[in-house]
Chains A and B, each alone.
Chain A
Amino acid sequence: MMLRLGVETGTAEDLAQETMLNVWRKAHLYSAEKGAASTWIFTIARNLRIDHIRRQSSRPYVDLDDVEIESDAPLGSAVVEQSQIVARVAKALDVLPPEQREVVRLSFIMEMPQSEIAERTGIPLGTVKSRLRLAYDRLRPLLEDLH
């Protein structure tokens, strides 16, 4: 993921190391009810990358996990095994229509803003948005198993 930022290998490796270091340092804050470990690691890597982009700034990206918002949401009563959900979502992603899978991957892995996806692929911005929505609709039944 870090390698695909367009940054040189050294920086990607630094960020990957930084990610694993943060996973280690924050491990006591992680709880399985909050979600799958791979999702948690994804968000740590994403936040570090954003901090890296904004490094000239003294204002870090707001990390919701750190803010510890009080939640009255039911704690996933029938907590389906989280890693199973990830595996099922991964499977579903694999069989998305190719044009939907492409915008999702460009978004989450290549980390392109919607406008950049439109530019690179030559499809209108409105189509980028509607493909993201369609992809979500397909994944929704699996994702909603979270609760």
Chain B
Amino acid sequence: MTISFHPDIATLMSFSAGTLDEPYAVVISTHLAMCEACREQVKRTNLIGGALLSLEPATEMSAGSLDRFMSRLDDAEPVQPKQQSKPGVPAPLAAYLPDGIDAVHWKFSGPGVAIADLPTSRNASGRLMLLRVAGGRKVPEHSHGGQELTLILKGAYRDRFGVFAAGDIADHDEDVEHQPIAEPGEDCICLVAVDAKLSFRSRLVRTLQPLFGI
């Protein structure tokens, strides 16, 4: 898989630090499953965490802590690596798509456009969803209420930044406006994390936004 578009290094650092909101962390994990270069990159950003940890002053544990720890060790079983895979679904996404991508319930969201929300934990503040755009169709021009991460799972789209195909990720700030158009041919399916409702430019679309739920 040739991947041309990768996340911002600042996003990967926050992923390493563990401070990304769940929907964003899921998009990045899924990209990592598809992108060798970024897996290498995250090994490096993790190293920053390890190095910082070694610089932090130690804190005393409370009395009896070591005894409790030693007794827990006696009962500890070795952990085996988990293997979770679904045909056609990258492993990190499998927990969010238990029945695979074909079983997704799509909601109409404009001509040729459909979305499906994926459930996240209660503490997530952003929104995780799948976006499906039929070949040749436009996603209405929009700016972002906050950071938007879009990972292409299938098909491709084009906007002013170039052509985004499977494995590519678009990491956009709130001030970016763009109008993706799915490339002719198969549906373009993307995994999207947003932290606020997308704001669409045209008044008509803005009026319809609450109806379509995007």
Contact B123 A67, beta carbon cutoff 8 Å: no
Contact B25 A61, beta carbon cutoff 8 Å: yes
Which residues from chain A contact B42 at a C-beta distance below 8 Å? 64
- Counting chain B CB atoms within 10 Å of each CB, the highest count among A1, A47, A60, A107 belongs to A107
Which residues from chain B contact A11 at a C-beta distance below 8 Å? none
Supposing A62-B29, A114-B10 touch, asked if A29 and B49 sit within 8 A by C-beta, the answer is no
Q: Which of A50, A64, A144 contacts B18 (CB 8 A)?
A: A50
Contact B16 A108, beta carbon cutoff 8 Å: yes
Chain A positions 89-147 with a Cβ under 8 Å from a chain B Cβ = 89-90, 93-94, 104-105, 107-109, 111-114, 126, 128-130, 132-133, 136, 139-140, 143-144, 146-147
Tell me, yes or no, whether B61 is within 8 Å of chain A by CB.
yes
Which residues from chain B contact A90 at a C-beta distance below 8 Å? 51-52, 54-55
Which residues from chain A contact B10 at a C-beta distance below 8 Å? 114, 128-130, 132-133, 136
Number of interface residues of A (CB under 8 A): 76
- State the Cβ distance, A110 to closest chain B Cβ, in Å: 9
A-B contact count (CB 8 A): 198
- State the Cβ distance, A116 to closest chain B Cβ, in Å: 8
- State the Cβ distance, B22 to closest chain A Cβ, in Å: 7
Supposing A20-B69, A46-B17, A139-B48 touch, asked if A66 and B95 sit within 8 A by C-beta, the answer is no
Chain A residue at minimum C-beta to C-beta distance from B33: A69
Contact flags (1/0) for B35-47 with A, using CB distance below 8 Å? 0100110111111
Chain A positions 70-87 with a Cβ under 8 Å from a chain B Cβ = 71-73, 85-87
Contact flags (1/0) for B1-17 with A, using CB distance below 8 Å? 00000001110011011
Binding site for A on B (CB under 8 A): 8-10, 13-14, 16-22, 25-26, 29, 32-33, 36, 39-40, 42-56, 59, 61-62, 65, 68-69, 72-73, 76-79, 81-84, 91-92, 95-96, 119-124, 173
Q: Can you list 7 pairs linking A and B with CB atoms under 8 Å apart?
A: A35-B46, A39-B51, A94-B55, A104-B52, A111-B17, A132-B13, A143-B47
